Amino acid sequence: MKRKKYGVDDEGAKHLLNIQTFFAYITATKTTLTFNTESTYDWEGETWSVPLNFYVSQLLLIGSQPISVSAGARYWADSPESGHEGWGAAWY
C-alpha cells in the first residue's frame, strides 16, 4: 500500500535525517576558525553522508568597507558508494 503525504503519493520519496552542527572561534584580530558538518542519513538506503568542513575567514577593511575572505578544506568521513570521497577545497 502506498503512503500519502500531503495528498501526494510517497513513491520515490526520500526519507532522510539531516544533522547540521558547527563550532566557530573568533580571535581578537577578527580571524574566524570554523568546523562544521552537514551529515545526512538515508533511512531506506541505510547510508551516511558525512562531510567535515574546516574554514578560516579573515575580516578586512578596504577603506571603510569591511570584506571577508575565506578558504577551507572538506573531508568526506563517510558517504554512499556512489558518493563523494576524500579531500576537497573551498574558498570565497
Residue ranges of domains in the chain: 9-91
| Rounded Cα gap, residues 36 and 20, in angstroms | 7
Q: What is the pLDDT of residues 57-84, one digit of tens each?
A: 999 999 999 999 999 999 999 988 888 8
pTM over 0.75: no
DSSP 12-79: T---EEEEEEEEEEE-TTSEEEEEEEEEEEETTTTEEEEEEEEEEEEEEEETTEEEEEEEEEEEEEE-
- Amino acid 58: pLDDT: 97
- Amino acid 33: pLDDT: 97
The answer to whether residue 8 scores a pLDDT higher than 70 is no
Q: Which helix (H) or strand (E) holds 20?
A: strand 16-26
- Amino acid 90: pLDDT: 76
Residue with the larger pLDDT of the pair 56 and 13: 56
| Rounded Cα gap, residues 7 and 35, in angstroms | 40
Q: What is the pLDDT of residues 12-51, one digit of tens each?
A: 667 889 999 999 999 999 999 999 999 999 988 889 999 9
